[in-house]
Amino acid sequence: MKNLEEFVLYEVKLESLQLTLSSGPKLEFPEMFANGRASYVMFEQLVRYLTGLEKATGSDHQITKGARCEQKAFSDIELYPNSTSDYFQTSASSTFPANNDGPTIKKMLLNGDYQGALKICKETGYDHNDFYIYTNTKGFRNEVPFRYVVVPTKFILSNLNPVDPREISRKSFLDKIKRKITL
């Protein structure tokens, strides 16, 4: 595996997203970068290309048979310096507000049951992943390089939002960056 050192910011400049028609024309789709529904799989495959990770079942990537990685998107600090919240969703998608466990977690948190909500987050994701790969692809625009950082799950568990265990602070892991490597 390459380009997987913890707390190193890896970046690569992306020029365009093109669709080449067999008849010759090349169509550009810059708005597809910013649309999570359109770009999710593309950015996962880009991370696999840059790192040598393999696709996994239950998690996004696997390093080896026993080591798994989940990939999550955050808003790039350069594009969104004044974001209204530093926190972003890092737990499994099943815990998102409108999904399976989302309403249960919301109710638990409203009733002050942080530990119960955390337990669901652990069972549905945190306990199944050794690392998280955070990419700057939420609302991505290719005005900035594609960036990613590898963060161990133990760090995430120690730095979750004290109000909502589904979230982590972007600042918490960006402050731990040791160096930047341009690919």
pLDDT digits (tens, 9 = 90+) for 12-51: 999 888 889 999 999 888 788 877 777 889 999 999 999 9
Both tokens assigned to 60: 């996004």
Round to whole Å and give the CA distance between 92 and 70: 9
- How is the chain split into domains, by residue range? 8-93+129-182
Nearest to 148 by CA among 39, 45, 74: 74
Instruction: State how far the alpha carbon of 36 is from the alpha carbons of 14, 74, 162, in Å.
Output: 16, 11, 27
Strands 131-135 and 18-20: unpaired
* pTM exceeding 0.95: no
**Beta-strand pair 26-28/18-20:** antiparallel
Query: How do residues 130-171 score in pLDDT, each as one tens digit?
Result: 999 999 999 999 999 999 999 999 999 999 999 999 999 999
Please report, rounded to a whole number, the percentage of residues in the chain having pLDDT higher than 90: 73
- Does the domain at residues 8-93+129-182 carry the CATH identifier 3.30.60? no
Please give the full DSSP string across 53-82, using - where no structure is assigned: -EE-SSSSEESSSS-EEEEEE---TTT-TT
